[in-house]
A and B are shown apart, each in its own frame.
Chain A
Amino acid sequence: MHISNLKNEFYQPLIGNKILLLVHYDVDAVCACKILQYLFRSDHISYTLVPVRGVEELKYAFLSFCKEVKYVLFVNCGGTIDLIDTLEPENSIVFFVLDAHRPTDVCNVYSPDQVKLLVPRSDDEKIPHPSEIFRDESDEDDDDDDESGDEGDRQDRRRQKAEEAMRKRREKRQWEENRNHVLFSYTQYSYYGRSSAVVMYELAWRMSKDTNDLLWLAIVGATEQMLLAKVDYQRYVLETGFLQSHVQRLSHHSDNQSNEDDVGNILTGVKITFGKDLQLALYRHWTVEASLRYSRYSATKLRLWTLRGESKVQELLAEIGLPLVQSRQKFTSMNMILRKEFPESMEKLGEKYNMDRIMTATFFLQYGYRGRFCAFDFVYGVLALLESRAKDKSLSTCFMEALDSLSRSNKHVLEDGIEKCKTILVSIFKQVQSLLEMRQVISAGPFLYLVLQEGTLDVQLYSSPLCLGLLAQFALEAYVGSSRSKKAASQPLIASAPLDPEKGTCLLLGIPPVADESSNNFFGKAFEQAGERISARMNMDYFDTSIIQLKTEDRPKFLDALTSLLL
C-alpha cells in the first residue's frame, strides 16, 4: 500500500516504539539512514540498525531481531521482493518500505495493511490493476445437490454443467495467460525511482526539522543516482531544481545577518551553494592532470588510453593556458588566478574537444576555512569507503565508517575515502586501458561482454558490485568511443569478475546501452530466464536484479544461453 502523508501515517505511529532498520549498502541508503537517525534521536525512538547486502542477509537479520520490534523499516531494500512471503512475519508487525529500486513487487503494492510503501503512487510505474493479477479462488463447484428431476432433465443439466465447466476453465486459462503477460511486461525492466534520501528529507521538512546538514545528505543521495547512472539526466535536473529551492530557503536567513559576523559565520555555519561544476572526478582534491586523465567523462571523450589521447590532454592544457608544471600540482596549491579560471576555460573549450556536457549543475558545501566540497566528491568518498573491504574489515565496519564520514566532525574519514577513491579510479582506468588494448571487450551478437581473469591487477577490488559497475560503465563508453561499428552504441554490456576463488564463483552484472537514455535495465529478467534454461548454479541474492553470482564453470554456457535468448 502506498502512503502519501508520511508524517501522520509513517512517523507518528513510530514514536514510543522500537524499530528495526534494515539498510542496503549504497550511498543513497547511507544518506537516508543518517537523516532517519537524526530524526529518531530527536524523538527518542529506540532503533536497531543492521546493514544488509542481499536477500539472505535480510532474512537472517529479520529473524534475529523480529521478536523485539513492532515496526520494521527497509531502506533501499525489500521493495522488489514479496516481503510477506519471504519473511513470514506475525500479523502485528508492520513493514515500511523506502526503496528506490523499481519495479515494486505487486504483492507489496496491494498488501492492505502489513506492507506500507513510503512513496506516493506514481503513474510512471505502470503498476498493473489488481483485478488483472489477483483473483478470488472461490470454488464454483458444481455439486449436484438436487437429485430430483427425471433422467432427461438430469442429462441436460449435466451437459450444461460440463459446458459451463469447460468455459470456466478456458476463461481461467486466458486470464492466467494475460496475468503472466502483464506481470512479465511489468517486471521486465528494472530501474530506479526517487532517491530515498530526498524522500526522507521531505519528511523532515514537513515536520519542520530540516537543517542544512540534512539537506546536504539529500543532495548527496540524489547526486549518487546521477553519478552511477541509476537515473537519467532529466530526472536529476528536476531533483536539483527541487533541492535548490530548499537551499535558497535555508540560506536565506544566514544572508540576512550583518557582515560583521562574517568570520564567525564561516567557521560555525554550513553553507550550501548551487552552481555548475566540471565532471572531472575529485579535481579539487587531486591534480588537474590526474583528474583529466582518470575521470570517465574526459577519458572517454578524449580517448586517453591511446597515445593520441595523451597529446590531446597536453594540447587542451596548453589552450587553457595552464602550464604542465601547474597541472601536476595539487589543485589547492595551484596558482590562484589559474585555479579560478580553470572551470570557465574548460567550459569554453568543451565543445571543441567534444566534451559539451562537461559542466553539470550541482551543489557545493563549505564549512570551516578549508574544505569546499562538491557533492560529487562526497559521493566518491563515501563510495570508496563502502568498497574498502579488506580481509579483517567486515562489510558492516565499512558501512559504519561510511556513516561516520558523513558527520561534520569526521572530515578526516571522508578525506581518507577520497584518497581511496583516487586509487580506485586509477585502477579502473588502467583496467579499461588493458581491456581495450587486448581487445577483451568481445561482442557476442546482441550484447558485449568482458571477463576479468583471475590474475589481473587489483582484481579483488572488482569483486563487489559497485566497483564492477563503475568499471563496466567506463569500459562501455570507452568501447563505444573507440569502436568503428555503428551499432556499438545500442549494445548493452555484461561484465564479470571472479568473486570467490575458493568457491569458484564469479560476479556478473549487466548495464544498459549507451544510447539508451532512460537507463532501464532488462538484464534482471534475462538472467533469470537464461539461468533457468541451463539450470545454472546461480545466486540472485542482490536487490538489484541485474547483478548475480554464478559458478565460474557455468559462465560460458550462461552467456551462450543469453545470446540465444536475446537474439
Chain B
Amino acid sequence: MFGQKGLELIKELNRTPDVLPPFNDDVIRQVLEEMNALFEQNRMDLDKEKDANYAGVHVRHASLERNRRCLLAYLYNRINKIRQMRWEFGSIIPPEIKYNMCEPEVQWFNNYNKILATYMRGIGNKHGLNLTLDRQPPKELYIEVRCLEDYGEYEMDNGDVVTLRKGNMYLLPRGPCEQLIRQGILQHITD
C-alpha cells in the first residue's frame, strides 16, 4: 500500500524515544522513489485527455502528501533530539552518536552550536552566561555530595584541591560538582 514506507520511518523513531537511531538512508530513498513513481503516474494521467482517472489522481496525491508529512516528521524529530543533546552533553558529541547522524545533521549541529554560543556570550551586557549549566534553578550555593567512586584529586575554581574517595561525604560549592554528578562520580544528597 502507498505510504507504508513512510510509516516505517515513524515507527522506527517511536521504538527508541531516548536514542538517536542511525540515519535510515535506505528507507528514505525508497520513500522518495515511491513518491517519484506516484508523481509520474499522476502526470501521465493528467496528460491524457480522455478517460482520465481523476479518482486515482486524488488517491495518489493524498499518498504523496502523506509521504511528505512522514519524511518531514522524521527529519524534524531527529533534529529536535540533537538539539536536546546539545543542552545535555555540551558542545562535543561522542563519536558513537555522531556516527548515527548524517552529514547535513552534523552541519546543523555545528551551526546551532555557533548560534547558541554567540547568544550566550551576549547575555548580561557582553559578560556572558552559560545557560546549559543549571537546567533547574539551584536551591543552594553549597551542596552535600557523596562520593561513589574513587576519583583522586579534584581542583575547583577557587584553587582548592579536594581528594575524592569512595564512601566519603563532602560539602562543596555547586558549580564544580555539577560535572561530576553528571558523570556519576558524586551523588547529590538532598535532605
Q: Please give the residue numbers on chain A whose beta carbons come within 8 Å of chain B beta carbons, in ascending order.
A: 18, 37, 40-41, 44-51, 64-65, 68, 394, 396-397, 399-400, 403-404, 407-409
Contact = CB atoms under 8 A, between A and B. Distances in A.
Interface of B: 140-142, 144, 146, 160-163, 165-173, 189-191
B171 A50 contact: no
B142 A396 contact: no
B142 A409 contact: no
Give the secondary structure class of B's interface: strand
Nearest to B189: A404
Given A68-B160, A68-B163, A44 B141 contact: yes
A48 B172 CA distance: 9
Contacts of A44: 141-142
A37 to B, nearest CB: 7
B168 A50 contact: yes
A396 B171 contact: no
Contact of A397 (B167, B171, B172): B167
Contacts of A50: 165, 167-168
B163 A407 contact: no
Contacts, number: 53
B162 A68 contact: yes
B191 A46 contact: no
B161 to A, nearest CB: 6
Contact of A47 (B141, B160, B161, B170): B170
A68 B161 contact: yes
Contacts of A41: 140, 142, 144, 171
A435 B136 CA distance: 59
B169 A49 contact: yes
A41 to B, nearest CB: 6
A40 B169 CA distance: 13
Contacts of B161: 68
Contacts of A40: 171
Contact of B168 (A49, A404, A407, A409): A49
B61 to A, nearest CB: 60
B146 A64 contact: no
B144 A18 contact: no
B171 A46 contact: yes
Given A41-B144, A48-B162, A400-B169, 18 more contacts: A18-B160, A40-B171, A41-B140, A41-B171, A44-B141, A44-B142, A45-B171, A46-B173, A47-B171, A48-B168, A48-B170, A49-B168, A49-B170, A50-B168, A68-B162, A394-B167, A403-B169, A404-B189
Nearest to A213: B191
Contacts of B165: 50, 64
19 contacts: A37-B171, A41-B144, A44-B141, A44-B142, A45-B171, A46-B142, A46-B170, A46-B172, A47-B171, A48-B170, A50-B165, A68-B161, A396-B166, A397-B167, A400-B167, A403-B169, A404-B189, A408-B191, A409-B190
A404 B162 CA distance: 23
Contacts of B141: 44
Contacts of B160: 18, 46, 68
A399 B167 CA distance: 9
A65 B164 CA distance: 10
A394 B163 CA distance: 19
Contacts of A65: 163
Nearest to B170: A48
B144 A400 contact: no
A285 B167 CA distance: 31
Of B162, B170, B191, most buried by chain A (CB within 10 Å of CB) is B191
A51 B171 CA distance: 15
Of B141, B161, B168, B190, most buried by chain A (CB within 10 Å of CB) is B168
A41 B160 CA distance: 18
Given A18-B160, A44-B141, A48-B162, A407 B191 contact: yes
Contacts of A400: 146, 167, 169
A77 to B, nearest CB: 15
Contacts of B170: 46-49
A64 B146 CA distance: 17
A409 B168 CA distance: 21
A51 B167 contact: yes
Nearest to B190: A409
Contacts of B166: 396
Contacts of B142: 41, 44, 46
B144 A37 contact: yes
Contacts of A396: 166-168
Nearest to A40: B171
